[in-house]
Copies of this chain bind each other. A is one copy, B any other.
């Protein structure tokens, strides 16, 4: 690849040099020039490639690191960030059963459906486009605790539509990365309050109409595409969350 391609950074008007450098590098990452988990060239090499001072390239890389695109490890290198790790729904709930324990997952239902309007709007696909719909129960200490509905755009998740469910992992995101190369990079969790429908309540062993906390998550990959819509419900009395205000 021609190293002289990336020159004279301030292409963008009104942007500092390091900011447009960061933008250029982000584009190279999104284009897949380096895949998640792999290393970028050393900062010194990137600096000469883009013919800027080392310090300027460092600022650009620091910016990308702040934004969660890359990860810098002293002595090892600079890496394209892997998918989210700490995205567990347990951040929102506190159950008596053992702490830190990963909830066991049981897929109750898997089907191809045409996306309802609300779902397709969030996923950014056409109404009626095919999606994979999952119903999933999560148990801790043998007790059913969370009930989840997921919608996944079928064009990305086709290989997971028909395979053996017993091979599925309790944690979905690492499996998504391994099986269909979908890396969840960012997520928005919308928290609200509702009451359990009869069928939801049955799965959780609670009475219908029981108060529940409801988390609607939309998850995005590196390119900003929405790759998952998930609604998680659990007993409202087990909900807790701490917000740090500064």
- Copies of this protein in the assembly total 2
Q: Is the CB of A246 within 8 A of B68?
A: yes
Task: List B contacts of A189 (CB < 8 A).
Answer: 242-245
Given A211-B211, A246-B68: A239 touches B186 (CB 8 Å cut-off): no
The size of the chain A interface, using a CB distance under 8 A, is 26
Query: Among B187, B188, B213, which residue has its beta carbon within 8 angstroms of that of A193?
Result: B213
Q: Is the CB of A245 within 8 A of B193?
A: no
Query: Cα distance A58–B166 when bound, in Å?
Result: 55
Q: Is A141 an interface residue (CB 8 A)?
A: no
Task: List B contacts of A87 (CB < 8 A).
Answer: 245
Q: Is A107 an interface residue (CB 8 A)?
A: no
Q: Is the CB of A188 within 8 A of B240?
A: no
Q: Is the interface of A mostly helix, strand, loop or mixed?
A: strand
Query: Among B187, B193, B213, which residue has its beta carbon within 8 angstroms of that of A237?
Result: B193
Query: Among B211, B243, B246, which residue has its beta carbon within 8 angstroms of that of A236?
Result: B211
Q: 8 Å CB contacts to B: which residues of A181-208? A: 185-194
Q: Is A52 an interface residue (CB 8 A)?
A: no
Given A193-B213, A211-B211: A188 touches B245 (CB 8 Å cut-off): yes
Given A190-B241, A193-B239, list of 10 further CB < 8 A pairs?
A: A84-B246, A185-B246, A187-B244, A187-B245, A189-B242, A189-B243, A189-B244, A191-B241, A193-B213, A211-B236
Could you pull out 19 A-B pairs where Cβ atoms are within 8 angstroms? A68-B246, A84-B246, A186-B245, A188-B242, A188-B243, A188-B244, A188-B245, A189-B243, A189-B245, A190-B240, A190-B241, A190-B242, A191-B239, A191-B241, A191-B242, A191-B243, A194-B237, A211-B211, A241-B241
6 closest Cβ pairs, A-B complex: A193-B236, A187-B245, A189-B243, A68-B246, A191-B241, A211-B211
